[in-house]
Amino acid sequence: MIADPILEVAGLRTVFFTAAGLVRAVEDVSFTLRRGEVLAVVGESGCGKSITALSLMRLVPSPPGRIVAGSVKLEGRDLLAISEAEMRAVRGNLMSMIFQEPMTSLNPVLTVGEQIAETVRLHRDVSKADAWARAVEMLRRVRIPEPAQRAKEYPHQLSGGMRQRAMIAIALACDPKVLIADEPTTALDVTIQAQILDLMLQLQQESGTSVLLITHDLGVVAETAQRVVVMYAGRKIEEASVEDLFARPMHPYTHGLMRSIPHLAAMSGAVAERLQEIPGMVPALSNLPGGCAFAARCGHADAACAAGVPPLEERRPDHYVACWHAGTLV
């Protein structure tokens, strides 16, 4: 049993019906977000991490997408079993989401203040004046200077970093229990990324919100998360605490990823050597091989890997991995 779960995802399966055939974007994914923690979901494009996030919010475009199996329990209530009207009362209220591109996820014809106030009035029985006051207060909390002035501005008048702060203000306006952040800093410059990550962590500690952080950046994972789920080709292939995952990655893909990124030598003291490549590329989700999806790129693959999908097993305390050879590999 996991202590104090807030969000429990079990057996989630999301598919897309496309011209190229059935795309299994999320295949039997389970994980638990604990109260007050930051859980990172990491993987490359097409691994299913963003579709997992959208599935939790029931925002998968349908058609062509459909959640065909699984449960998403927020404090015990299965969000996949409730009506759309009930779900609308959850989104932005109990569970919020921020996206990668703040310019396209903000409404360009409403001021930032109106967009925050709108969220507040949707979920709370408050007057317009009170909602506006809350909007200004939220902009202050995300450390936007002159919040009363900024609330009257439109998204295009703000810089990229300011827009992402405004997005966070909208997401946190109703004190959600869970915040899903899908690549929240990927579109930002590195100094702005550092500001936003720092802000998110501070707010998370102030409010006790649990955060599901979707990212491709292992550096961001290492600096923000307590636990990590690694995804590949729609499946969860590894899960561990952040310390354990970086110290002892057990899946050959995770291991390969960590060795393929250059490290700042000034930080790690390492001499620049040749980067370790992962050969080949991610398989198309519409045409997955039988067996382990990583086998074609894996140096340890043998007949067993092609024969069947490896189950996720606990190989070390609280360290789960889906690999037939996890027992023999370091």
Partner 1 sequence: MTPVLQVEDLKKHYPVKSGFLRRTTGTVFAVDGVSFSIAPGETLGLVGESGCGKSTVARTVMRLVEPTSGRIVVEGTDIAGLSKAALRPFRREMQMVFQDPFSSLNPRMSAGDIVREPLLVHNVASGREADERVAALFAQVGLRPGQMGNFPHQFSGGQRQRISIARALALNPRLIVADEPVSALDVSIQAQVINLLMDLQRDQGLAYLFIAHDLAVVEHISHKVAVMYLGRIVEYADKTSLYRRPQHPYTEALLSAVPVPDPKLKRRKRLLEGDVPSPMRPPPGCAFHTRCPYAEARCKVEAPVLRELAPGHVAACHLR
Distance CA 96, CA 105 (A): 13
| Least CB distance to partner 1 at residue 311 (A) | 24
Sheet order of strands, 77-78 included = 21-34, 5-18, 65-74, 77-78
Which residue type does 152 have? K
Smaller CB separation from partner 1, 49 or 123: 49
Restricting to residues 17-76, which ones interact with partner 1 according to CB under 8 A?
44-45
Restricting to residues 119-148, which ones interact with partner 1 according to CB under 8 A?
none
In terms of DSSP bridges, do strands 38-42 and 210-215 run parallel, antiparallel, or are they unpaired? parallel
| Least CB distance to partner 1 at residue 264 (A) | 5
| Least CB distance to partner 1 at residue 106 (A) | 17
- Tell me the window of 21-29, 51-59, 78-86, 154-162 that interacts with partner 1 (CB under 8 A): 154-162
Smaller CB separation from partner 1, 97 or 257: 257
Smaller CB separation from partner 1, 28 or 217: 217
Restricting to residues 177-236, which ones interact with partner 1 according to CB under 8 A?
189-195, 197-198, 216-223
Distance CA 179, CA 36 (A): 10
- The closest of 99, 94, 101 to 182, measured between CA atoms, is 99
**Pair of tokens at residue 152:** 């009257």
| Least CB distance to partner 1 at residue 24 (A) | 19
- Tell me the window of 50-58, 119-127, 272-280, 317-325 that interacts with partner 1 (CB under 8 A): 272-280
Q: Does 263 bind partner 1 (CB under 8 A)?
A: yes
Q: Does 265 bind partner 1 (CB under 8 A)?
A: yes
- Tell me the window of 10-18, 50-58, 96-104, 274-282 that interacts with partner 1 (CB under 8 A): 274-282
- What is the sign of the dihedral through the CA atoms of 51, 57, 61 and 66? positive
Instruction: Give the list of residues 6+ apart from residue 121 with CB closer than 8 angstroms, or none.
Output: 128, 131
Interface characters, 276-315, with partner 1 (x: CB under 8 A): xxxx-xx---------------------------------
- The single residue among 149, 159, 202, 205 that binds partner 1, judged by CB under 8 A, is 159
Please answer whether residues 214 and 49 qualify as being in contact, where contact means their C-beta atoms are separated by less than 8 angstroms.
Answer: yes
Smaller CB separation from partner 1, 289 or 311: 289
- The closest of 145, 195, 134 to 169, measured between CA atoms, is 134
Smaller CB separation from partner 1, 87 or 194: 194
- The closest of 117, 121, 58, 64 to 91, measured between CA atoms, is 58
CA distances from 173 to 155, 168, 178, 330 (A): 17, 8, 12, 45
Please answer whether residues 63 and 236 qualify as being in contact, where contact means their C-beta atoms are separated by less than 8 angstroms.
Answer: no
| Least CB distance to partner 1 at residue 46 (A) | 8
- The closest of 178, 177, 145 to 162, measured between CA atoms, is 145
**Pair of tokens at residue 37:** 């923690």
Report the b/e string of 10-48 with b at 16+ CB within 10 A.
eebbbbbeeeeeebbbbbbbbbbbbebbbbbbbbeebbb
Smaller CB separation from partner 1, 95 or 196: 196
- The single residue among 1, 3, 19, 266 that binds partner 1, judged by CB under 8 A, is 266
- The single residue among 139, 257, 292, 321 that binds partner 1, judged by CB under 8 A, is 257
Q: Does 260 bind partner 1 (CB under 8 A)?
A: yes
Smaller CB separation from partner 1, 135 or 240: 240
Residues near partner 1, by CB under 8 A: 44-45, 159-162, 189-195, 197-198, 216-223, 242-243, 246-247, 256-258, 260-268, 272, 274-279, 281-282
